[in-house]
Amino acid sequence: MANAVAASEIRDWLLWFLKLRVVIYTVILGILVGVERIATPAVPFGAVMGVLLVALTLTLIFSLWVNYSSNYLVQALTHIVTDLVSITLIIYLTGGTESYFSILYFLPIAFSSLVLYQRGALLTAFSASMVHASLLLLTQARFIPSSALSRPSLRTLIAFITLNTFAFLVVGYFSGYLSENLRRKGAELVNKTGALASLKALNDNIIQSLRGGLLTTDLDGKVTMLNPAGEEIVGRRRDEVLGRSIKETFPDVDFERCINQLRDGRRNVRVDSILRDRPGEEKFLGLSTSPLFGDQHVLIGYLVNFQDLTEMKHLEGEIRAKDRMAAVGEMAAGMAHEIRNPLASISGSVGLLRKEVPMNEEQDKLMSIVLHESQRLNKIIDGFLIYSRQITYNPRSVDLNELMDDTVTLLHNNPEVTAQHRIESVSDQRPLECHLDPDLIKQVFWNLSHNAIRAMPEGGTLTIELKKADDDEVRIVFRDTGVGIEEDRIDRIFEPFHSSFANGTGLGLAIVYQIVQAHHGRIEAHSSQGLGSVFEISLPCKVPVPVH
């Protein structure tokens, strides 16, 4: 990976250097053309022109070479050597010691510092010094002809060569030093940028993976971020929320009060709210608001964590209902034993008096009422005893369709079922085998069906549905078109003594609830007054074997 990055850097510097060379050589060529038009130059203009044109032609070839070869280091060395030769020829043709173009040696020296580091820059500077010195010494010794108008003394020439050599080496050293520092800082910047990118990616992954909602706002309460879990909870897409006031997302939350409490020094403010994301559907949310700080601990907005507590609220309701029913069950067990024996004595004594003592019609009617109410009270006590006892079940393999068919048959023979009643049974699988207690489940079927019939005194439709939710669960739905249940009573219908029917004991649904709980299942009720009720039961297809 490091080699690939180095090769990429060399290629970038090659392209940059090619452009710079074109600019410099073109400017020199333009200057020479201008001088030639103004006055007759003292240098062989044609030869210098030819060197510059050759250099520009080589630059074009090198630009093609970059695109067709990835051996960039060899190309860089070729560039350096070509420039040293071209610059030396230009200096020779423009008078040697009298030439002003020796400064062009700085170009390949600087370039070598970029691609060959400080050592390469010093080596190129040394090579330029040797080539330049050799050129001047050879022309001074007349080994090669010179176009210079005058010939300096040897002492002056040595001082000139020494000064240029020193300048080349200084440029090579400092350009190499700066290049290495630039490269080091660049590597540090890349590492820090990579670390920052990794940290940002980790932060984004954490936010995206949160199961709770996370939302941020600016100081004006405009939403700036919403994670996917938050989108799912509020039921809105991110683009529908971003840039809008948080009050539009949580209209029932007083965020101004929360912000004022945060300004008073609180680290976070916790509130509960109800979110009505769809008509007829409510979600219970728990929200925690805290300040959001930026650099140097400057407040830049607010952070809101929120969770969907709807399921938890339902579980809390079930727990409270269980606690209430357990308390009532204990009371029922005690009361039943205390009431049942005197009740039996009263009922027996009244029956005996009715047979042995002559009574008129009114007295006989009173005796009948006493016996009837005694029997009803005894029935309630029997229900108490059933309810107060812990449900024990004996699971075995059973076809739920058979239990449903038996229930429908019993209903058709029930005197409360009239011609105006319609009973439908629906199943998506036959047979539907489950490992349950058939007697207890049949009691659930009967209690719910009988309640549905009683809720439709003028007739209506009762639908019983069996649905296989998955391999481990079955759902049983009882749907009627009866009078429905009042909204303020729906949460307490599974508690004992909450009957809506005349002469009802109020224990039927409580016993149903107990049986479902004993089978590790769930039961939910939904009702609209005047539109009917729906009872949905979810049961595991195989309940655990009870330990006695």
Neighbours of 455 (CB within 10 A): 20
* Assigned architecture for domain 211-308: 2-Layer Sandwich (3.30)
Q: What is the DSSP letter of 545?
A: P
Mean pLDDT of 194-210: 78
Which amino acid, residue 465?
E
- What is the percent of the chain where pLDDT is above 70? 84
The whole-number average pLDDT for the span 185-194 is: 80
- Average pLDDT taken over every residue of the chain: 79
Domain ranges in the chain? Answer: 2-190, 211-308, 314-388, 396-540
How confident is residue 46, by pLDDT bands cut at 50, 70 and 90? low
How far apart, in whole angstroms, are the C-alpha atoms of residue 66 and residue 162? Answer: 37
CATH of 314-388 among 2.60.120, 1.10.1760, 1.10.287, 3.40.50: 1.10.287
Taking residues 305-317, report their average pLDDT.
82
Rounded Cα–Cα distance for residues 283 and 314 (Å): 11
- pLDDT for the residue 527: 85
Enumerate the β-bridge partners of residue 474.
Answer: 468, 539
CATH of domain 396-540: 3.30.565.10
pLDDT at 498: 61
Q: What is the pLDDT of residues 466-500, one digit of tens each?
A: 988 776 888 999 999 988 888 777 777 887 666 66
Q: For the ranges 102-111, 396-405, 449-458, which has the lowest average pLDDT?
A: 102-111
End-to-end CA distance of the chain: 68
β-bridge mates for residue 465, sequence order: 426, 477
Task: Record the tokens describing residue 480, joined without a space.
Answer: 């009627």
Tell me which residue of 390, 396, 391, 392 sits closest to 542, measured CA to CA: 396
- Quick check: 256 pLDDT over 80? yes
Cα 12–14–18 angle (5° rounding)? 120
Under DSSP, is residue 459 helix (H, G, I), strand (E, B) or coil? Answer: coil
Q: Check: CB of residue 210 under 8 Å from CB of residue 229.
A: yes
Cα 519 to Cα 515: distance, rounded to the nearest angstrom: 6
d(CA 157, CA 163): 10
Q: What is the pLDDT of residues 100-142, one digit of tens each?
A: 778 888 888 888 887 777 888 888 888 888 888 888 888 877 7
| Rg value, the chain, Cα | 49
Low-confidence winner among 82-91, 223-232, 499-508 (lowest mean pLDDT): 499-508
